[in-house]
Amino acid sequence: MPYINNDDILIPAYEKLGVSYEDACNYANSNCWETLLQGVSNQEMIRGINFLYLLELALNRGKSFVYAADHAAEPVPDVNDPMTFSPWCGPVNNVIDGIDTGDVGAFESIGDVLEAWKKQMDYMLGTCIREFSEEIYTNGSHGPFSSNPLLSVLTKDCVENLTDTCHRGARYDLWHILCEAVSNTADAAAAIQKFVFEEKVVTLPDLVEILKNNWEGCETLRLRFINEAAKFGNGCEQADKIAQEMVEYFVECVDSYNQKYEDIIYSPCIGTFSWVVNIGKRIGASADGRKSHEPIAANMSPVPSRDISGPTAAINSYLKLNTEMSGIVHLAGWKEMIIDQNCLIRIPDLLKSHLFEFIYDKRNHNVIHHNPVYQDRHDLSGFYGVSSYIMGNDLLYYCLSHAILLSGRCGLSWPLPDRLH
């Protein structure tokens, strides 16, 4: 797939991480949308720094709302039968407790909630990086007996060091640390700020009990949390400011560990890829109105159906975040955007004015994805499956013609039929 990255952003960003200018100039697209240092690095990722789970821990003295009960209900896996392993089993998917950050009854402001969240972040990220670093130093990136001889021959310094790329033979060990559920967490914290500390609709201890019980018997209150609180992706200062503070703190924490482990590069990222359903299964109900085990928002995208102010508002919310952070955003559009002729002619202007000025961040170029397209801003019943990834050189191609925009990727014809398909 064609793509375009921004040398002016990426090369200095790699240099800031300790990569030489010459090696930084040779960055390349990796697999999905991230970049890597081609030919000189062993690239891996650490996933699971879940912002929403950390908020759950902050509200529940370091304990999950659901994990213990869910895990106890799982059948014990048979090591001789891989089909018995569930998403709960295995070191990649372990859910660990946090630390006791105090009784929520003593929290007097959203600042106290965010302070508890930061302590959970410190503990979780510190534990994660410390254990991964010890494992890398002792057993390599894929265990003591793993090797990749072909890749090692093609990766600089492995032959000179007589060491496989899996065992730190490459010039750089690059580990992307992926955080998740950022927009869900910002929405949840904004709702807590409004309904607990400002309007005093419910106390924080009572809200925690409601969340533990999965909003049961409190549907009216849940809908108020969904419909009346600020939402990330709409240009709402309250939610955007919370997301900004959380992301900034995450980046600062990762940077501090880069100074501690100088021969391993830890890179802060926002990324869920396609794991939004499975990630959500490990988290209880949350104050953004989400019910227990439901999916989270993808990557750095607004929570689905909550971005009701249009794509420019979502872009502006994103741009308030630390632009050294890598992450992609999915923009939802409305049916009228591509059916109404007046709206249609504005799409190239949107792409040129916003996307070319969109921050191409540290390691990842941003992908704009208008899926789903729904019938109107408030009726989500009409999902039509129109999907188009717009990135880099594709962007120039799509701007050439409205007909190309519609038929080249989306499989639609002009004029459009009454119903999208």
Across 135-149, 175-189, 215-229, least confident range: 135-149
Q: What is the dihedral of CA 277, 283, 287, 290, to 10 degrees?
A: 30
Q: What's the mean per-residue pLDDT of the chain?
A: 76
CB 108 within 8 A of CB 139: no
135 — pLDDT class (breaks 50, 70, 90): confident
Which residues pair with residue 34 across a beta bridge? 364
> Rg of the Cα trace of the chain?
23
Alpha helix positions (H), 108-157: 110-139, 149-154
Q: For residue 75, is the peptide bond before it cis, meaning its omega torsion is within 30 degrees of 0?
A: no
pLDDT exceeds cutoff 50 at 22: yes
Which of helix, strand or coil describes residue 178? strand
Give the helix, strand, coil percentages of the chain, each rounded to 5.
Answer: 45, 10, 45
Tell me the whole-structure pTM to 2 decimals.
0.77
Within 10 Å of residue 275's Cβ, how many Cβ atoms? 18
- Residue located via tokens 């988290």: 283
The gap from C-alpha 97 to its chain's centroid, in whole angstroms, comes to 21
Maximum mean pLDDT: which of 72-86, 158-172, 352-366: 158-172
Distance in angstroms (rounded) separating the CA atoms of residues 133 and 16: 20
If one compares 92 and 314, the residue with the highest pLDDT of the two is: 314
pLDDT exceeds cutoff 80 at 83: no
Distance in angstroms (rounded) separating the CA atoms of residues 249 and 116: 13
CB 172 within 8 A of CB 40: yes
The gap from C-alpha 141 to its chain's centroid, in whole angstroms, comes to 23
Return the structure tokens found at 255: 């940077």
